[in-house]
Amino acid sequence: MSRFIHQCLKPVSAFLTLSSAVGAAYADAAATEDTTWSSEVSSPAMLPGSDGLVTLDEQESHSGADGVQARNVERIHVIGHPFNTIHASNDMGRMPQDVMHTAQTIDVVPRELIRQQNAKSLDEALKNVPGITASIGEGAGGLNGDQFLIRGFPAQNDIYEDGLRDFGVYGRDSFAYDSVNVIKGPSSQVFGNGTTGGAINAVTKTPSLTNHYGADFSGGSGNYFRGTVDVNQRINKTTAFRIAGMGAANNVVGRNFLHDQRWGIAPSVAFGLGTKTTLILQLMHQTDNSVPDFGMPVVKARGSVYARPLSEYGVPRQNFFGKQQDHNHTDDTMETLRLAHKFNSHLTFRNDLRFGEYSRSYEASKVVCKAGCIAAINSGLLANGLVNRTTPHNSVPLPYKQSSWSFQNVASVQADFKTGTIRHQLVAGVDMEYVHDSRKQYVYPGEVQAANLLSPNPREVSYASVRLLPAGQNAANMPYLPGIGKKPNNNGYGFDTGIFLYDQLWLAKWVSLKGGLRWDRWQSGYNVTGGPDEVNRTIKGTNKSLGMISNEDKHFPQTTNTVNPTASLIITPSKWQTVYFTYASSTTPTGMYVTSGAVPVRPGKKGTVDNKPQRAQLYEIGSKFSFLHDRMGATITLFRLDKNNALTTDPVSNATLNTGDRQRNQGLELSLGGMILPGWNITATYALYDPKTTASATAEHRGKQIQYVPHNQATLWSAYEAFPNKPWNFTVGGGVIWRQGVYLTNDNLAKVPANVEFDTVLSHRINKHWVMALNGYNLANRLNYSTLFRGFASPAPGRTFLGRLSMDY
């Protein structure tokens, strides 16, 4: 560990030197600035506050000497630039401090960065966050919408909107997002069970008292078309309405036969704005029709050290080996009510309630590169190679239809008071959530036609040959799952009751202690029903029969009680710096993946590894800076994250399994963001990780690098606005996203190469209301891999250009 820390401290030293140099270089210029100032603007549409630069303080009218009423004048106060997110709010009652004064690594993707990059999804926004590996999905029902790793550990069940869990299994569009926060490290004390690597919290657009009318239109490569609207209307002094909408359709550059069509709407209304009691009602709906893409099978060819995707051996990156019937249709709706009441300066009450309804119809093709396919690769005669599409007997995941619903209610109280000379900020509350999922499996009547390596044709698979049958009518074509049988129908549920309490005590103005804990009772169950009373079981991979065995309905319940403590020491030597040390823990019981797992509760005896929860501990030391009069912010973090009984996914059944492995990721994270000079913004991140399996019952895993986790990862984005007040103004910018090559398996026998993506933007403000822009992505047209599986890897989109026209009144 000491050697690794020494290695980590080298870039820390360089980073501190750079920060000092930058601070010194601009000290004289910054000395003449003030963090707050007043100015007059002639139109609300010109208010920088619409971009997060300032807040509206007051609005007044003035009469001239001639008695004529003058134009309205708005008084505004600068509170820093949105690219410096160090003072951003966490937008949750459970986390009342801003980013700088929260003793945990928190990365914020602000709205202005989302606009510059034209990030259209949660996946694209998170490319700016160090330690996030995007679009990881092994199964548990197939290509499961948004799948992320945070610091090397799965977070597909740790996605939130406005502090409430989003249980849906879908690709989240960013049309209703104001910003995205990533809270790193175990956070069960705040969010409940899960959050081993951290939590992703999207902050949504909500009504304000300033009228605003915006629209955005994009088009470009891959037959891409997209339109969004964002309208905010003040109704009276304390009430406002807002609605955001989106419609989009596109193919995927560099991939054949893939397409995506989606639309969404997010209306909201707020009452009591600017008063002691605020009530916000929100609705979000998104419908998506797309083609799931398992990409390229990963195989080991002659002379190769590692198994690699087929496209690394000369198979064209655009080849799609699925069939025309493959589809992923999702409908996701959430209704949210958020209430906040401030009794006085010492006591605030909040209650957040959400209902969610989710549905999904899914059919996808995994392909297998068998002996003939591997022989074609070894000989270089790719034209003779065939890849086998999934067959009835090994089709995993089976086609299915899924319906889920959920609710969550979080009630909390924040109390600020003193006991003697010690100031307290106490937060306590109750968190209750319930999620239910039903799934109906389907099977194919016969074999599915194989695909050619060089010229696959999805349309050659006729609808008749893969006509879906209810699994209960054709149990012979269902895979047999040990302990479960051949069951066409399943449903599961999870019910969590949590009580949390923590207190921050200021022993002096510059030092405080924070500690607390959360108790959770997690109850879940998994039921399998339907099918014949008996089934004929065969030995895997052969036609040898083991005879008829019972296939009765089964129920697998489990209950887990957990306690997760947290403790922090926070030092604020000055108003522009925070230093902290944090210990935190998290617990992930079996059955957490109710909506995203085909087998959420693994059959097994109580107390065995199958039913033990996954536990994680975090030790983190870090510092946060804000300098150049809050134009720039920076963070430095050293951490160690230990995980026991690590979760993985069974490649056959797609069940979520507890392996018993112990894993550790320790490392360094750096971030820098803000305005270098007026009009010149920068966002830069770097992550250095040492991810290893420290103990395992599987000898091949011990001491190996954890799958999907790179040793090094970095991002850089910068843009400069030239001649901002001239008709010939323009903004030019660009950046790079780099991720070192990663292993696809914990035995480190399969690997994908590094990802390198160069992006750019060029824009021009036509007038105060209209902007046109051109964004370019993956300018080098490099073969990157965006979606990773244990045995598959999907090529990322090729070189893409999107034009955009934005209206803002």
Residue range 183-203: mean pLDDT, rounded: 86
**Which of 493, 145, 157, 140 minimizes the C-alpha distance to 331?**
145
pLDDT tens, position by position, 648-677: 655 444 455 666 789 999 999 999 999 999
* Residue 131 pLDDT class (50, 70, 90 cuts): confident
What is the distance between the alpha carbons of residues 739 and 784, in angstroms, rounded to a whole number? Answer: 10
Predicted local distance difference test score (pLDDT) of residue 156: 76
The tokens describing 653, both together, are: 């059944």
Order of all β-strands in the sheet with 296-299: 308-309, 296-299, 792-795, 785-788
CA distance 494 to 423: 39
Q: How many angstroms separate the CA atoms of 157 and 593, rounded? A: 7
Counting other chains too, the contacts that 227-233 makes at CB distance below 8 Å and 24 or more residues apart are 228/175, 230/205, 232/207, 232/208
Question: Would you say the C-alpha torsion 24, 30, 36, 40 has a positive or negative sign?
Answer: negative
Contact of 526 with 600, CB cutoff 8 Å: yes
pLDDT (tens digit per residue) in 708-765: 899 999 999 999 999 998 999 999 999 999 999 999 988 999 999 999 999 999 999 9
**pLDDT class for 225, splitting at 50, 70, 90?**
very high
Checking if the pLDDT of 790 tops 50, the result is: yes
**pLDDT tier for residue 502 given thresholds of 50, 70 and 90:** very high
CA distances from 345 to 414, 504, 508 (A): 10, 17, 21
Can you give the pLDDT at residue 31? 39
Question: Which residues, 6 or more positions from 396, have their beta carbon under 8 angstroms from its beta carbon?
Answer: 139, 366, 390, 479, 651, 652, 653, 654
Six-digit token string for 684: 């830069």
User: What's the pLDDT tens digit per position in 443-471?
Assistant: 877 778 888 888 899 988 887 777 777 76
Tens digits of residue pLDDT in 590-624 = 777 788 766 666 665 555 545 678 888 999 999 99
- Does the pLDDT at position 267 exceed 70? yes
Distance, CA of 607 to CA of 612 (rounded, Å): 6
Return the residue matching tokens 């323009």.
730
Residue of 556, 483, 479 whose CA lies nearest to 524: 556
Q: Cβ neighbours of residue 385 under 8 Å, at least 6 residues apart? A: 369, 372, 373, 375, 376, 377, 452, 453, 454
pTM given for the model: 0.86
Q: Which amino acid is at 708?
A: Y
Exposure string for 686-717, b = 16+ CB within 10 A, e = fewer: bbbbbbbbeebeeeebbebbbbbbbeebbbbb
Cis peptide before 397 (omega within 30 of 0): yes
Q: How many CA atoms lie within 13 A of 39 on its CB side?
A: 16
Residue 80 predicted with pLDDT over 50: yes
| Percentage, residues of the chain above pLDDT 90 | 55
pLDDT at 252 over 70: yes
Q: Is the pLDDT of residue 15 over 50?
A: no
Q: Does residue 22 surpass a pLDDT of 70? A: no
Mean pLDDT across the chain, nearest whole number? 84
- pLDDT value for 403: 94
Query: Do 312 and 329 form a contact (C-beta atoms < 8 A)?
Result: no
What is the distance, to the nearest Å, from the Cα of residue 678 to the centroid of all Cα atoms in its chain? 31
Identity at 151, one-letter amino acid code: R
